[in-house]
Amino acid sequence: MATGDNERALEDGIVTDLEDRMTYGSYLDLDRLLGAQHPVSRPEHHDEMLFIIQHQTTELWLKLVQHELGTARDRLAADDLRSALKHIARVKHIQEVLTQQWSVLATLTPTEYAQFRGALGNSSGFQSVQYRAVEFALGNKNERMLGVFRGHPENVAMLTAEWERPTLYDEFLRYASRRGLPIPTEVLERDVRQPYREHPELVPAIREIYENPHEHWDLYEACEELVDVEDNFQFWRFRHLRTVTRTIGMKVGTGGSSGVSFLQRALDLTFFPELYSVRTEIGR
């Protein structure tokens, strides 16, 4: 084989003079993005870069999840269920990526992590304002969490706005009510700043959707999409739990939590309880 035969020639139309033009790097602000990894261990431990990038990419995906959930709620409020489902479908795909990412962090062995964990101080994923915003958007609200970010006014403002806003489930149930489903007034007029709690009197309305799918096909589909979102969230939580277990065992978390047992309790939380309760009623 002659030298150069294993090369791909540049096409004449490809722009190579990039001076004074918008470029891939400038559009994505890559200088700042790729310069945002600052290991704190001394001497710098090789695996700390993995730890930083894992969490930074998670935060980027969470930002997009929050963006999509916001628009999905806007579309539901505007009676545009089909568009809302498109945004919810995107959230589901992002959740799959987030869950798969744990397999990368799981390559960090206990010995490797122990060599730089002490340098992290009290920093912890518990302090992720975007994670809290996503949980608030899905119904797991907790006013006390606002105080965690009191040193960062912008974070407090963002999370407060999410705390005061109807959840994805609230908007779906309001939409279902406008479609003629018997959604209880107590549910429609609930204080949306409170964590969503199960309302047994809502189950008959959800059952109506499930037992008559041909009459309520789009609502039926929406219910299953919401179940997918919750299942995906639980898979993410479980994968987080297992990754932490294999990396630090039963140690206390860097942020002061009990670690694995704290994460274990999160598996008992639910966003859309009636969508699960109805399954017990169907077919009785």
The annotated binding site for heme is made up of 240
Cβ proximity of 191 and 54 under 8 Å: no
Binding-site residue set: 51-55, 113, 117, 240, 254
Residue 212 CB contacts under 8 Å (≥ 6 apart), including other chains? none
Binding-site residue set for substrate: 51-55, 113, 117, 254
SS3 annotation, the chain: CCCCCCCCCCCCCCCCCCCCCCCHHHHCCHHHHHCCCCCCCCCCCCCHHHHHHHHHHHHHHHHHHHHHHHHHHHHHHCCCHHHHHHHHHHHHHHHHHHHHHHHHHCCCCHHHHHCCHHHHCCCCHHHCHHHHHHHHHHCCCCCCHHHHCCCCHHHHHHHHHHHHCCCHHHHHHHHHHHCCCCCCHHHHCCCCCCCCCCCHHHHHHHHHHHHCCCCCHHHHHHHHHHHHHHHHHHHHHHHHHHHHHHHHCCCCCCCCCCCHHHHHHHCCCCCCHHHHHHHHHCCC
Query: What would the two tokens of residue 50 be?
Result: 């993995």
